[in-house]
A and B are shown apart, each in its own frame.
Chain A
Amino acid sequence: MTEQKTIDTAKRAFMKAGASAAAIAIAPGVSLYSIGAHAATGPASSAKRWGMLVDANTDEGVWDIAVEACKKEQGWGGGNNPATDPQWIRKVSIKDPKTGAKASLPVMCQHCDSPPCVDVCPTGASMKRADGIVLVDKHICIGCRYCMMACPYSCRSFVHEPVSGQKPHMPRGKGTVESCTMCVHRVDKGQNPACVDAVNATGSQAMMFGDLNDPNSDISRAVSKFVTQRIRTDLGVEPSVHYRGI
């Protein structure tokens, strides 16, 4: 084993400084190196718990709008193999066979509090942020697809085909697993996920996004006011997507 030597760049800079001091020091306090101010935001805090409330008692047309908004925002869709193409969010129709009552709802990553996908990941690529958003770190995802098998909601997809034309905020590549990110790039800027904004833009109140930990948030008030359900609560994974009318 050879130990990698770190280069002392400060020492080099000092050696150079003697030669170029006259060039750099224009006036006291004035430097040629002007580094722009970088206003960093974050890190994500466990004080927040992002969640969604979906009202299935609504015109089912809005779910198509939500799916299309997701495709447009994140750059998936458009493949020719429906069985294997990535699918971050899908419209599911259900029917009660006894009463004949029908409903339609969008299903995407449920951003579980105890995510099985994170439990099974052999590399640590599947991870949960402090604020509850479950993500895939594609830098270290090896594409084994254990998480896809572990997910009770079948919400993860494997990228089988080469990808091009990715969005700057959403790198995607063949051989990795991906799923709904709850539009983490928008949430970190204080915006709603793209699907929620698209549904709201139609004047519908069918999707709501917010902080479930904040008792004064709209979503917390709605969840405390109406009876909501989450899918497969029997598994104890504590999903953060709530549904009404299913």
Chain B
Amino acid sequence: MRSAIKFLSLAILGLAILGGGLASPVNAGEVPLPNPAKAFKGEQCVEPVDVMRRDHMTFLKHQRDETLREGVRGNKYSLNECIACHAVKSPDVAGGKVRTLKPFCAECHAYAAVSIDCFQCHTGAAQ
């Protein structure tokens, strides 16, 4: 009798797990993974994609100091170059009339709860 109850409870547990798995094949209720737009031009960034994803903030921060404080210009990493390739049209910015970088950055930054916003001061609009 005891073993029968144990078997039954295990069976119910198994069904619950299986049912739960079947009911949510696309992680319903979870925040969807970010899906940043493809580059406007070009196929290859200045670094491989995984390096850019992890270290873009370091590249930009180091180079901004070199540019502003030391006067080094034309180096490899540049916010304006980011804009040239990755700015996208979004209905949230200027009614979708101009390409701007902010929605591209926000795609992952919103997911990862990153609060930095370069575009309070920098223009994100493609020129």
Chain A residues proximal to chain B, CB less than 8 Å: 7, 9, 12-13, 32-36, 38-44, 127, 129-131, 135, 137-139, 163, 165-168, 171-174, 176, 184, 188-189
- B69 and A137 contacting across the interface, CB-CB below 8 Å: yes
Given contacts A137-B68, A168-B83, A174-B120, 5 further A-B pairs with CB under 8 A are: A35-B46, A43-B66, A130-B70, A130-B71, A168-B123
- B70 and A138 contacting across the interface, CB-CB below 8 Å: no
Q: Which of B46, B73, B83 contacts A40 (CB 8 A)?
A: B73
- B121 and A40 contacting across the interface, CB-CB below 8 Å: no
Residues of B within 8 Å of A165, CB to CB, are: 123
18 A-B contacts (beta carbon < 8 Å) = A7-B54, A13-B48, A32-B44, A35-B44, A38-B76, A40-B73, A42-B70, A42-B71, A42-B72, A42-B73, A43-B66, A44-B70, A129-B69, A130-B70, A166-B123, A171-B121, A176-B121, A189-B73
- A188 and B69 contacting across the interface, CB-CB below 8 Å: no
Complexed CA–CA distance, A84 and B65 (Å) = 29
Distance to closest chain A CB from B32 (angstroms) = 25
Residues of B within 8 Å of A173, CB to CB, are: 120-121
Given A166-B123, A173-B120, also A9-B50 (CB < 8 A): yes
Distance to closest chain A CB from B56 (angstroms) = 13
Closest to A36 in B: B46
Residues of A within 8 Å of B64, CB to CB, are: 139
Q: 1/0 contact trace for B85-105 toward A, CB 8 Å?
A: 000000000000000000000
Distance to closest chain A CB from B27 (angstroms) = 26
Q: 1/0 contact trace for B22-64 toward A, CB 8 Å?
A: 0000000000000000000000101010110011000000001
Complexed CA–CA distance, A7 and B80 (Å) = 27
